[in-house]
Amino acid sequence: MVISTFALFFYVRWLLKQEVEEELFSAEARIESALNAGKHPSSLAPIIEVLEVDQPEASFTKDTVIYDPSQNEMELFRELSTYKNINNKFYKISVRVLVVETNQILWAIIISYIVIVLVVFIFQFYLNKSYNKKLWSPFVHNLEQMKTFSLLSTNPIQLLDSEILEFSELNKEIALLTGKVRDDYENLKQYTEDVSHELQTPLAIIQAKIENIINDQSVTEVQFNQLTSIQKDIQRLTQLNKRLTLLTKLENQQFTYRENIEITALIDQIIANFSEIFSIALSFQKTNNILASMDPYLAEILCNNIISNAIKHSGNNGPITIAAKDMILSVSNFGLKPIANPQHLFTRFYRETKEVKSTGLGLAIVKKICDLYGYHISYKHVQDHHCFSIDFDTTRVSNK
Amino acid sequence: MKFLIAEDEISLQQSIVTYLEKDGNVCECASNYEEAIYKVSLYDYDVIILDINLVTGSGLEVLKQLKKEKKKAGVIIISANNSLSDKLEGLDLGADDYITKPFHLAELNSRLKAVLRRGKFGGDESIVFNEIRIDTRAKSAYIIDMPMTLTRKEYDLLLFFVTNKNRVLSKEIIAEHLWGDNSDLADNFDFIYVHINNLRKKLTPEGAKYIKTAYGSGYKFTEE
């Protein structure tokens, strides 16, 4: 660009010089012929000067700077001076032409270059932009599709085809990959479902047989205690199974039925039930009623799990405080240390300690139910208490 | 009483038979769909215990057949599937109760008795055990014709004892019957002891003598 600017500059300068000199010579020739014809052309300084001289000298061309009063500045002129013998008189003919200044040439070139570059750039910019937009539109569309991709929806991912080889290859791979992910997920789900289903019958057989053994007269007290201990383990396995099945069903979104549930009334009922089993004090501060539109079965599991979780982890240090206020249900229980990994709190089979016997699925189910209905659940540790809050107001959650 | 146990798992089928025959009931078995259909159309039963997943067909079809022939038998469905839709479908087709595997035989027995009471008399009836009379319609109990003021749980406990008389009931089974899934949350079953003690007091010495401790930690309701 810079080199071409200078090349152009020198070329233009050379061209101009040639042109100016041609003009000078032709003007000089015209003056000479006028002199030959006997006319005496009037001098027009500084453009044309005709002087009679005594001695001829060699002709020359030169650059000269002459003050131009009209523009009030020094101007560069090209001058041709020749000495001619006309009618035995020697004349010095000087012809001068105003020359375009070099820096002006240079500026002209630079400015025109800048203008050209700018115009080209702007044009290219918009052209490229519209072209790229067209070119990338399938890619952008597919990217959006991938962002909204969910394993839960049964529709296959909708990808736009593109003429570009790389993009269509990418599409192929994405379709393949999502298909595989979905298949794996389906298999895993089916596996969980099948396993829990197939376990039910053997469990039922073991349980029935144990009951018959117990009712046989020939059991000793030690054997009885061992058998009831086995029953307890079966019970645990059954619970685990039930919860896994429930989680699968929640993931499959098989709960579509809804009715208005008064959560606070449900809590009252659960507290009454729990206080028959546990000696721990359960206090319920009901500021306002909480109404939620959900499956009654899930509502019961939700409240049951969140309260039983608090009872289990309180270490018999009461009381469990349950509060209902402004659509927020909070349950808090005593616990000196905050949860070490709160990010795993709702992960299935995550247990903070091994001391408390649990299936490790209770809170995972709570979280899944909350997710299903768009309720916000949060955990915090305040004043030596673990506190879980469920916000039943879905409009408030979406504003967050 | 005559029962049909339609269950394709022979071990489970035989365990149920053993448990139910203790009361002097007659139990017949069907190990597949065809046998179930055949026996249902040929004989009359008081209660049919019906597995939904019979190896060669659906128990629900047996139920439909039964209702088509206008048989009066009570039906308890057993299923490995704990889904509400299955349960509702079974009950809609005219089943009297629904129980999910795995279950306690005592629980099955107590539901069976409830179905029998409802079926036989078109409504609930009184259960009499020597000095004790339970009015299942009013959910109240009497000891030597004196009304007892029982809590809901104490009433359920008494009914569970009487329907499973002569059988050993562990605390776990009792807890599960009374509190369902919540019972496994408890670290120990001392709370059962409290409830049984309260019931014993209310039964007065005449009634309390039937609740006996078995093997140190279980209970048995018996005349012996």
A239 vs B9: CB contact, 8 Å cut-off?
A: no
pLDDT per position as a tens digit, B26-80: 999 999 999 999 998 889 899 999 998 888 888 888 988 888 888 888 899 998 7
CA–CA dist A297, B181 (Å, integer):
13
Task: Determine the average pLDDT of the residues in B180-209.
Answer: 82
Task: Tell me the pLDDT band of A214, cut-offs 50, 70 and 90.
Answer: confident
B168 vs A224: CB contact, 8 Å cut-off?
A: yes
- Residues B108, B151: one domain? no
Task: Tell me the pLDDT band of B121, cut-offs 50, 70 and 90.
Answer: low
- Residues B186, B80: one domain? no
- Residues B55, B150: one domain? no
> Among candidates B55, B179, B193, B186, which has minimal Cα distance to B107?
B179
A239 vs B11, B172, B181: nearest CB: B181
In this structure, are residues A400 and A381 in contact, taking their beta carbons and an 8 Å threshold?
A: no
Chain B residues close to A238, C-beta within 8 Å: 102
pLDDT per position as a tens digit, A220-248: 888 888 888 888 888 888 888 888 888 88
Q: Which amino acid is at B49?
A: I
Chain B residues close to A239, C-beta within 8 Å: 181, 184
**Domain of B186: which CATH number?**
1.10.10.10
CA–CA dist A356, A350 (Å, integer):
12
A245 vs B82: CB contact, 8 Å cut-off?
A: yes
- Residues B30, B91: one domain? yes
Rg (CA), chain A: 50
- Residues B6, B117: one domain? yes
- Residues B52, B160: one domain? no
- Residues B195, B110: one domain? no
A205 vs B22: CB contact, 8 Å cut-off?
A: no
Per-range mean pLDDT, top range of A21-35, A132-146, A268-282, B24-38: B24-38
ipTM score assigned to the predicted complex: 0.84
Chain A residues close to B11, C-beta within 8 Å: 205, 208-209
What does the pLDDT read at residue A397?
53
Question: pTM higher than 0.90 for the full model?
Answer: no
Look-up: residue for tokens 């879980």? A388
- Residues B114, B9: one domain? yes
- At residue B184, does pLDDT exceed 80? no
In this structure, are residues B125 and B196 in contact, taking their beta carbons and an 8 Å threshold?
A: no
- Residues B12, B26: one domain? yes
Task: Tell me the pLDDT band of B124, cut-offs 50, 70 and 90.
Answer: low
**Residue A380, class by beta-carbon neighbours within 10 Å (0-12 exposed, 13-18 middle, 19+ buried)?**
middle
Q: In 3-state terms, what secondary structure has residue A258?
A: coil
Which residue would you say has higher pLDDT here, B215 or B50?
A: B50
Domain range for B86 is 2-121
Chain B residues close to A313, C-beta within 8 Å: none
Task: Determine the average pLDDT of the residues in B202-213.
Answer: 86
- Residues B76, B19: one domain? yes
What are phi and psi for residue A377, nearest 5 degrees?
-115, 135
* Percent of chain A residues topping a pLDDT of 70: 96
What element of type H or E holds B211? strand B211-214
Selected for mutation to probe chain A from B82, B156, B164, B178 (highest A CB count within 10 Å) is: B82
Cβ within 8 Å of A, B 98-127: 100-106
- At residue A124, does pLDDT exceed 90? yes
Give how many domains chain B has, as a whole number: 2
In this structure, are residues B206 and B144 in contact, taking their beta carbons and an 8 Å threshold?
A: yes
- At residue B82, does pLDDT exceed 70? no
Give the least confident one: A35-49, A197-211, A235-249, B10-24.
A35-49
- Among B106, B121, B136, give the residue marking a domain's end: B121
CA–CA dist B141, B158 (Å, integer):
9
- At residue A400, does pLDDT exceed 50? no
pLDDT per position as a tens digit, A139-159: 888 888 888 887 767 677 777
A210-222 residues labelled b (16+ CB within 10 A) or e (exposed): bbbbbbeeebeee
- Among B95, B121, B147, give the residue marking a domain's end: B121
**Domain of B66: which CATH number?**
3.40.50.2300
- Residues B53, B108: one domain? yes
A224 vs B214: CB contact, 8 Å cut-off?
A: yes
Dihedral sign for Cα atoms in the order B176, B179, B180, B181: negative
B173 vs A278: CB contact, 8 Å cut-off?
A: no
Task: Determine the average pLDDT of the residues in B86-113.
Answer: 87
- Residues B96, B181: one domain? no
> Among candidates B87, B80, B85, B75, which has minimal Cα distance to B102?
B80
What element of type H or E holds B220? strand B218-221
Report CA-CA distances (Å) from A322 to A157, A309, A316, A328, A342. Answer: 44, 12, 16, 10, 21
What does the pLDDT read at residue A108?
85
Geometric angle at alpha carbon A344, from A341 and A346, rounded to 5°: 130
What does the pLDDT read at residue B28?
93
What does the pLDDT read at residue B89?
80
What's chain A's average pLDDT? Answer: 84
DSSP annotation of A206: H
What does the pLDDT read at residue A389?
92
pLDDT per position as a tens digit, A341-365: 888 888 888 877 776 667 788 889 9
Q: From start to end of chain A, where are the E strands?
A: 48-53, 60-68, 73-86, 89-98, 259-262, 282-286, 291-294, 320-325, 328-334, 376-382, 385-391
Look-up: residue for tokens 């546990």? A278
What's chain B's average pLDDT? Answer: 86
- Among B121, B152, B184, give the residue marking a domain's end: B121
pLDDT per position as a tens digit, A47-83: 777 777 777 778 788 888 888 777 777 777 888 888 8
Q: Which long-range contacts (CB under 8 A, 24 or more apart) does A248-251 make?
A: A248/A189, A248/A192, A248/A193, A248/A196, A249/B83, A250/A298, A250/A365, A250/A368, A250/A369, A250/A372, A251/A152, A251/A189, A251/A368
